[in-house]
Chain A
Amino acid sequence: MYLSYQALSLSVLLALPASVRAVFQDEVGHIDYHHELLGVPQRETTFFHRPRAEEKASLLYTLSDLGVLGAVNPSNGAVVWRQLLAGNVTDGGGFLRAAEDQTWLVGAYGSSVSSWDALTGRSAWSLNSNGVVKDVEVMEITERGGKDVLALHQESGATVTRRIHGTDGHVVWEHREVNKDVPLQVSTSLDKVFVVTLHGSLLSYSLKVIVLDTLTGKKLDEIPLGTKGEVQKPEDVMFVGANSAAPIVAWTDNAMTKLKVNVLGLKSKQEFALPADTVDVEIHAPHTIQSSPHFLVHSRTKSGHKADVFHIDLKSNAITKAYELPLLKGGSAFSTSSSGTNVYFTRVTDNEIIVTSSTSHGVLGRWALKSGAEKLAALHGVSEVIKKAGDSYAVRAVVVTDSDDWTQIVNGGLGWTRLEGLSGAVAATWAEFSQSEDLARTLEAEAHSNPLSAYIHRVKRHIDDLQYLPTYLQSIPNRLLSSIVSSENTESTDEVTRDSFGFNKLVILATKRGKLYGLDAGNHGKIVWSKNANETPSGKHWDVKAIHADNAKGFVTVRGSEGQFIIVKADTGKTIEAMPSSLFPPVDGAVVVDSDAGPWLLPIERDGKLADVQVAWAPKQTVVTRTSENEIQGFNYVEKDELASAIPVWSFSPSAGQHIVNIATRPQHDPIASIGRVLGDRTVKYKYLNPNTIVVATVDEKISVLYTYLLDTVSGQVLGSSSYEGVDSNKDITCAVSENWFLCTYYGQYQLQDSQAQNLKGYQVVISDLYESELANDRGPLGDAANFSSLHPVDIPTGPALPSLVSKTFILSGPITSLAVTQTRQGIAARQLLAYMPESHSIIAIPRMLLEPRRPVGRDPTPAELEEGLVKYIPAIELDPRMAVSHARDVLGVRSIIATPAILESTSLVFAYGVDVFGSRVTPSQAFDILGKGFNKVALLPTVVALFVGVLGLGPMVRKKQINMRWQAPM
């Protein structure tokens, strides 16, 4: 059977039910919001660079701590282009350099070196090799006139230096030094290449410089520097300059009392004393070859910071201290900027910005910081100093602040701010605004008290409410006007309140840098509050295991892996309780359980162990934990004296060779509007609705088989299992469960088992519907029983009532990950599968109707099936861009998608986080309970008026005509 691709995709498009609709152009930016982020810029990999030598405008480039390489327009802070340097989100590190007057940038991460066009963000070349890249440097002067790249690789037992052609990426020469040294950095001067390595063993290293010839890569010399044991760890060497007339290497002793500097190529070093109590030293020097060989040493002490400027004499190679900038309290950021031979140092302190020249200590410009309410604590930054007419200067600096923001300061005034702190999110949850919960609780209290007192209470409440009447009346004209002009009141108020549609909700976001944010989903994801929630030691990330919002109390609990937790108020971010790490045992995860004391987040310790809890807090449900790599156990809490302890009731482990790759659980809010599906012939298929089910996906890597198990979490019984051949275990395998169906997505390559020997290859999704019985109008072994028990099965002879499974597999046009299912308030609206498309960088909503396992195969649907909305089964599903919730937006690196119901039944709120932050609203069954923007009230009013005028005008005419007719003589 040969079908052309176009015909296929067209038929799939036609098969899409009418309820599928794309985002309207005028809804963009109205219902959705997107923080296009890069990650927090790293100090060594951020700079201004002119992408085209002939144009004056420069762009701001950074390789962030998430591995995102990006260009930012310095005038407005907008992203020009972004690339994931290593193809996925990384954990800091990497190298980025730009060549002066060249169109390319060179970046490196892991084992690959790649070059990118600075203006368009296109790849120029990339080079993969064995070993890890330890440093990359641009060779500014070559014999050809162009510029080349020097890359330093660490292979096992060898230090490899390569010179790579700058424009086409081939290796010009390679130098291989076989020893056990730790390669540190590579540097170049006009005529030599220097490779700085650490010689010796851990805690007693000495520096060694290998001098190479620029033309051939031949080793010219080897210079040991300092004595053995002078350097303890690679981090002690803080700077190796490059592309300077006199590149230097600088390191400190372990106590941070002395700075040792060596001009590369010489055997001698010079020592300089550091201020007392120095905790951190940074060196700033220009990276252009024509700049004066000056550098600045920035020493941070516990309470303040100071800087010393040094000059290198090119003839004698002697380093002399030129001047010093005074010790100031607080933190600051230094940056260099060079134009021609002039080098400028920009100092951004807590309250001012100062520009000095490298030649003298005279202040060229000083501006007070107009930073508004919040104090701006700069960590590091970059700057551009421009000499204007006369002796005045202008400076623009872009600094990374303590709050992880990236802020531009132009002559002291704040320019744009990029909220890079929101990137690298690891967990998020929806939270309600607490105020309406009070009302709900009052109503509940009224319902439970006796009618008379409830009535009195209610009347009192209404009298109390009267005080809001004047303000309400005052707001009516305003609301009327705004409702006519735009269909929905979206004026952004600073006040965060609930709205009657339930679109205003809070999202509590935790990032791996230990920050917590409260975002207002109804107000374009604006940050309501932010706070530093986790003091992690540097280099360690906040590994959030669970986040839970208790809407009754208005609290949000965040649990980290080291046993630490924090409880904050959802609407203000005020800390209620915080526990630092290591006081409690480390946890593997945490689950929300119901107890007599209300729902709470039960921590699960390492290896699925559950600690004893107080009786009042004992979970009522069975708690399912993953006790080892390949085992799942169910626990029940049993009271023992004052405490309740967990007793294992069942365990599940797949057969040998399989290991668990994914466990899908139901969403917390999963209401079912109808217990059956009415078929075209008016019979009903009853859904198998067991709330205590999970789906476990295991894979056997040796034979590439995926197994899915449907488990009853109360009894541990396997309710259904399937296996799929030819599944790639290295690619993403994800499952999702909702209502009476579950699905898994994977990459498959296998031969069909039916008569035709057909091969298939591609990303697929398999969906299974669960029904009580294979037959319609049959409720299976349970019959009409209102209750059922997983532990006391009714089926004859002993087994539980097994659901009947209907499955179909579809081939997708691309991979999907981070699955979630839309949630609506009552579950009446249809459901959509929300997923992230990692290749297209978009979030897609696939209608459940499209992924319908009951679609007829190999024949056209009967009229009854058509009435049900079933269309002919076509194996391929083209993921139409019109299904993309994020439409044309480029949403990078989504880690997870969360959905929550709004008050309107039609609408589900969607929020995606990872590198970027994206939020929107989806209406799986169309917005049937709200007037959209298409409802033009302005046009409606004149139409009604015009019709009224028409009726008024036509009335007399008709009356006249009728009278005339009466009086007309018959012919």
Chain B
Amino acid sequence: MLRSIPTVPLAVALQALSLLFSPASAATVTLSIPPSPQIPNPAALPPSTHATLTALGASFVAPLTTDNTFVFRNVTAGSYLGDIHCPTHGFAPLRVDVISATAGDDVSVRVWETFRGNDWENKGEEIRPATVGGALPVKVFGSKVYYTERSSFSVLSILKNPMILMGLVSLALFIGMPKLVANKSLTNINHLSPTVDPEMRAEFEEQSKKNPMNSLMSGPQSGSSPMGNFDVAGFLAGQGSGSKEEPEPSSGNGGKKGSKK
């Protein structure tokens, strides 16, 4: 009845076949998964990958074939929702329209991307076959992620925490800076003028105390600010009250003078 020579291309043979067993105005829809950055090797997709076409009162299923296509045969005219179900990758939903032109056997297939939860007429980009009459390539979203990473306890992850980093830096400043500043300010002055008189030095120190940053850095040695009176190490050791024993006349500039007695 239908003799076909083995050299006839597969798609043509299938088309002929579908016409043989089907009523008029039924089309063959062929979707394909081309190699893409997300799926470099479509041949490695699991065999449970399949595609469905659904509409009110109709549904078609096509498994993934050896040449990475989904072939729906005898699809009657209508507008279908196309889904590709794959355990490893997510695919874009499709709108597949099978249009029968007139009463004849002539049917055409048009495919667009569609958006779930949106109007059906709201179509995305039309998908065109790579070659005329060829398979329609489908769009991959990416790999499916089934698992969440467990946040495990590790010292490094604690150290990476910005809050901890800030705390550590400020701790280093509190402890290290007073010494650094004390030495540096002296050496600087000495370097500038070896024959500096004590008056000038006192003036410099007065200047540096006016600088709020310095007063913050100069730490426990100056009683100028409430912060200055705060002994970090002592507080951490639970003995912070020790330094409070000193009564502190804290009133603006008076405090500065107090420290200069």
Contact = CB atoms under 8 A, between A and B. Distances in A.
Counting chain B CB atoms within 10 Å of each CB, the highest count among A117, A144, A726, A962 belongs to: A962
Nearest to A747: B54
Contacts of A758: 119-121
A814 B153 contact: no
A881 B148 CA distance: 11
A728 interface: yes
B150 A888 contact: no
Given A171-B20, A747-B54, A749-B56, A955 B237 contact: yes
Interface in B137-155: 141, 144-155
B31 interface: no
A5 B154 contact: no
Given A130-B21, A168-B13, A839-B85, A813 B119 contact: no
Nearest to A170: B13
A123 B152 contact: no
A28 B148 CA distance: 12
A170 B148 contact: no
A19 interface: no
A790 interface: no
Interface in B81-136: 81, 83, 85, 87, 90, 92-93, 113, 115-122, 124
Interface stretch (B2-10, B161-169, B188-196, B247-255): B2-10
A21 interface: yes
Contact of B16 (A8, A170, A878): A170
B116 A762 contact: yes
B73 interface: yes
A174 B1 contact: yes
Contact of A934 (B20, B43, B65, B152): B152
B239 interface: yes
Given A124-B66, A127-B17, A934 B117 contact: no
B198 interface: no
B56 A747 contact: yes
A3 B17 contact: no
Nearest to B59: A731
A965 interface: yes
B113 A939 contact: no
B55 interface: yes
A939 B158 CA distance: 13
Interface string A1-14: 11111101000000
A21 B81 contact: no
Contacts of A876: 115-118
Interface in B1-39: 1-4, 6, 8, 10, 13-14, 16-17, 20-21
A316 interface: no
Contact of B117 (A8, A83, A123, A170): A8
B236 interface: yes
A933 interface: yes
A129 B19 CA distance: 11
A173 B2 CA distance: 7
Nearest to A103: B66
B228 interface: no
Given A120-B47, A813-B93, A888-B146, A961 B233 contact: yes
A5 B145 contact: no
Interface residues of A, number: 88
Interface in A761-815: 761-763, 810-811, 813-814
B92 A5 contact: yes
A3 B113 CA distance: 13
Contacts of B148: 21-24, 882
B234 interface: yes
A87 B57 contact: no
A959 B237 CA distance: 8
A813 B116 contact: yes
A28 B146 CA distance: 11
A932 to B, nearest CB: 8
B17 A841 contact: no
A839 B52 contact: yes
Given A5-B116, A8-B117, A127-B17, A958 B233 contact: yes
A22 B144 CA distance: 12
Nearest to B95: A761
Contact of B56 (A124, A726, A756, A954): A726
B61 interface: yes
B26 to A, nearest CB: 11
A970 B261 contact: yes
A121 B47 contact: yes
Contact of A24 (B64, B144, B150): B150
Interface string A616-635: 00000000000000000000
Contact of A933 (B16, B54, B150, B155): B150
Given A117-B66, A839-B52, A3 B115 contact: yes
Interface in A719-769: 726, 728, 730-731, 747, 749, 756, 758-763
Nearest to A961: B233
A529 interface: no
A890 interface: yes
A127 B2 CA distance: 14
Contacts of B46: 81, 890
A25 interface: yes
B64 A5 contact: no
Contacts of A878: 116
Contact of A171 (B10, B17, B115, B155): B17
Most buried by A among B4, B56, B117, B120: B117
B242 interface: yes
B147 A5 contact: no
Nearest to B245: A966
A2 B122 contact: yes
A19 to B, nearest CB: 13
Interface in B230-244: 231, 233-234, 236-237, 239, 242-243
Interface string B52-80: 10111101011111100000011000010
A704 B8 CA distance: 44
B147 to A, nearest CB: 5
B208 to A, nearest CB: 13
Contacts of A704: 56-57
B6 A881 contact: no
Interface in A936-963: 936, 939-940, 943, 954-955, 957-959, 961-962
A875 interface: yes
Contacts of B62: 123
B221 interface: yes
Contacts of B55: 749, 761
B204 to A, nearest CB: 14
B152 A936 contact: yes
A495 interface: no
Contacts of A81: 46-48
Given A881-B145, A888-B87, 6 more contacts: A25-B150, A123-B64, A128-B73, A170-B4, A749-B56, A840-B87
30 contacts: A1-B118, A2-B122, A5-B115, A5-B116, A21-B148, A25-B149, A81-B46, A81-B47, A122-B63, A124-B66, A127-B21, A128-B21, A168-B6, A170-B16, A171-B2, A730-B59, A749-B55, A749-B56, A758-B121, A760-B117, A760-B119, A761-B56, A839-B83, A875-B116, A876-B117, A876-B118, A881-B146, A890-B46, A943-B155, A954-B237
Interface of A: 1-6, 8, 21-26, 28, 81-83, 87, 117, 120-130, 144, 165, 168-174, 704, 726, 728, 730-731, 747, 749, 756, 758-763, 810-811, 813-814, 839-842, 874-876, 878, 881-882, 884, 887-888, 890, 932-934, 936, 939-940, 943, 954-955, 957-959, 961-962, 965, 970-971
Interface of B: 1-4, 6, 8, 10, 13-14, 16-17, 20-21, 43, 46-48, 50, 52, 54-57, 59, 61-66, 73-74, 79, 81, 83, 85, 87, 90, 92-93, 113, 115-122, 124, 141, 144-155, 220-221, 231, 233-234, 236-237, 239, 242-243, 261
A-B complex: 6 closest residue pairs judged by Cβ atoms: A876-B117, A121-B47, A875-B117, A759-B120, A958-B237, A123-B63
